[in-house]
């Protein structure tokens, strides 16, 4: 058993398009004089493995703990999703400048060509400057040769679908979707545990491109339902908003005014990142204080818990979609079309 919450130390990534907004918006203690583009909050990918920074498991990393505790940490559903690694990679991204236009392969292609998983992911917009926008797919139906020619002639921008975004928007990006964050956006990202990215276009910055593999895996039809704001359910002490769910992950927004109950019942861990305010976690054997910008992981066998305070957090886990998403939304009175707006993939 591993019935203690795990507060995790972030892994900061310097990027040419990064900045200091993770410090300004989320209060993260960034290293000085460095443009930080990403903060990996929960990771067991390659050499980037999250380490516990508080409590009885301080100093131990997520790989050690998964090897030691297995199902008790990740849950039955987590093991089904990925038996050889922690199933999700969770990060914050600061796009001070535009990211490259890129695409991720599906699992079959990535395993065959890269020896890694593919990547389906979702973004929650934590902050965006006025007029901010991002790329999600193509503006119209296109094809391989038209896209190849546009890349060669450095006019791919003409084919892109630009989506205006503001705080609270959610973008679901299944594998094969061309995408890019525009400048002036901070997002929370939940994804499969993979770092396979094919860069198709980079705004003339001269970095390596992966054109042929990108063309192999692209979805050439326009993206349907590029963004959502989810469906909210009022609970005692706050609101739970179901943002997006697919077979790899579910993402919820918890807005807590006083307290809210939860439970890790053995099926999946709960990963919680705080984006506003502060509070305290009450669980069977104790309590844990948390504040804006921090992430903590609740093991699958933690049992019932309670969140107290005034804060907004994002909760990611591996779902049983019909039970964890469809049932509570039906009980709240949402109809089939509304529920489908949350379910993806």
Per-residue CA distances from 76 to 65, 118, 127, 242, 295 (Å)? 16, 21, 34, 22, 22
In 43-169, DSSP assigns E strands to: 44-45, 48-49, 51-54, 88-95, 101-103, 121-128, 133-138, 160-164
Give the integer Cα–Cα distance in Å for 327 and 316.
Answer: 18
Q: Would you give the distance in Å from CA 108 to the centre of its chain?
A: 21
Task: Give me the helix-helix angle, 71-81 and 62-69, nearest 10°.
Answer: 90
Active site residue 199: yes
Structural contact between residues 232 and 214, judged by C-beta atoms closer than 8 angstroms: no
Question: Alpha-carbon distance 136 to 226, whole Å?
Answer: 7
Q: Which residues contact 131 (CB under 8 A, 6 or more apart)?
A: 164, 184
Please tell me the distance from the alpha carbon of residue 200 to that of residue 211, in angstroms, as a whole number.
Answer: 5
Q: Which of 51, 85, 98, 199 is catalytic?
A: 199
Give the Å distances, CA to CA, from 307 to 65, 172, 203, 255.
24, 27, 44, 11
148, 156 in Cβ contact below 8 A? no
Closest CA to 297 of 12, 55, 24: 55
How far is it, in rounded angstroms, from Cα 241 to Cα 290?
21
CA dist., res. 84 & res. 63, Å (int): 10
Q: Which residues are catalytic?
A: 199
């Amino acid at each position: 058993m591993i019935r203690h919450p795990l507060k995790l130390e972030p892994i900061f990534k310097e990027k040419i398009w990064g900045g200091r907004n993770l410090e300004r918006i989320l209060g993260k203690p960034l290293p000085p004089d460095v443009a930080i583009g990403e903060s990996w909050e929960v990771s067991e990918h390659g050499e980037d493995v999250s380490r516990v920074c508080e409590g009885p498991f301080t100093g131990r990393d997520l790989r050690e703990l998964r090897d030691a505790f297995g199902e008790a940490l990740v849950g039955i559903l987590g093991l089904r999703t990925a038996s050889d690694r922690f199933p999700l990679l969770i990060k914050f991204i600061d796009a001070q400048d535009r990211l490259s236009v890129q695409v991720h392969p599906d699992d079959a292609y990535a395993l065959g060509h890269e020896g890694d998983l593919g990547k389906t992911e979702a973004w929650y917009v934590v902050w965006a400057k006025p007029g901010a926008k991002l790329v999600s797919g193509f503006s119209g139906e296109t094809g391989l040769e038209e896209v190849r020619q546009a890349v060669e002639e450095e006019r791919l921008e003409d084919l892109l679908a630009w989506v205006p975004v503001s705080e609270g928007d959610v973008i679901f990006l299944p594998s094969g979707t061309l995408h890019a964050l525009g400048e002036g956006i901070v997002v929370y990202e939940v994804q499969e545990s993979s770092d396979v990215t094919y860069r198709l276009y980079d705004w003339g910055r001269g970095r390596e491109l992966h054109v042929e593999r990108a063309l192999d895996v692209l979805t050439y039809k326009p993206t349907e339902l590029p963004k959502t704001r989810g469906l909210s359910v009022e609970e005692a002490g706050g609101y739970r908003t179901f943002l997006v769910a697919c077979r790899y992950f579910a993402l919820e927004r918890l807005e807590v005014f006083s307290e809210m109950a939860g439970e890790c019942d053995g099926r999946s861990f709960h990963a919680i990142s705080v984006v506003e305010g502060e509070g305290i976690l009450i669980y069977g054997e104790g309590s844990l204080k948390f504040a804006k910008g921090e992430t903590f992981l609740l093991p699958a066998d933690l049992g019932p818990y309670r969140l107290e305070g005034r804060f907004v957090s994002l909760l990611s886990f591996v779902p049983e979609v019909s039970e964890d998403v469809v049932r509570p939304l039906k009980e709240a009175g949402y109809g089939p079309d509304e529920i489908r707006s949350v379910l993806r993939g």
